[in-house]
Amino acid sequence: MIEKKYPLPPFTKETAIQKIQMAEDAWNSKDPIKISKAYSLGTEWRNRNQFINGRTEVQAFLADKWTKELDYTLKKELWSFHENRIAVRFEYEYRNETGQWFRAYGNENWEFDENGLMQKRYASINDLAINESDRKL
């Protein structure tokens, strides 16, 4: 059986926003298995300075991420889209094990296969230390 993750490309503004909201909801669940199902089996990622290939590596990366980024909350929004590609800007907040809060800002470029699974994800991310009282999310 062929896996499909709707909506499928080519994207309209409405379906691109829907795809982004689905990704935001999944990542905020912090469930590596659930999240990984949105990606093709051979997905390729660049996340900051890490290169991640395939669902198994995605799951391991995400499980490790949330042992370090505690109380994680993410917000994504559409930047642009064309055919099977979506560009997203995002921010998320988390605290580390010592209690220091951070807000991370970034951009992602996504490419989807014909079945709506993300086959490429390129993320550029910058972290800013913040006071807990400065949290927005």
Q: What are the tokens at 109? A: 């470029």
* Average pLDDT of the segment spanning 128-137: 97
Query: In the numeric block, which tokens belong to residue 122?
Result: 């390129």
Nearest Cα to Cα of residue 38 among 30, 56, 29, 26: 26
Q: Is the pTM of this model over 0.75?
A: yes
Residue 61 and residue 34: Cα distance in Å, rounded?
Answer: 13
From the number of C-beta atoms within 10 Å of its C-beta (0-12, 13-18, 19+), residue 49 rates as exposed
Dihedral of CA atoms 103, 40, 35, 81 in degrees, nearest 10, equals 50
Query: pLDDT tens digit string along 33-57?
Result: 999 999 999 999 999 999 999 999 9
Residue with tokens 């921010």, as numbered in its chain: 91
Which two structure tokens, joined as six digits, stand for 115? Answer: 């079945």
Measured distance CA(68)–CA(51) in Å, rounded: 18
The conformational region for residue 30 under phi > 0 = left, psi -120 to 50 = alpha, else beta, is: left
pLDDT one-digit tens code per residue, 79-132: 999 999 999 999 999 999 999 999 999 999 999 999 999 999 999 999 999 999
Q: How many CA atoms, within 13 angstroms, populate the side-chain half-sphere of residue 136?
A: 10
Query: pLDDT value at position 2?
Result: 83
What is the distance between the alpha carbons of residues 110 and 115, in angstroms, rounded to a whole number? 14
CA-closest candidate to residue 63, choices 43, 33, 40, 102: 33
| pLDDT, position 1 | 76
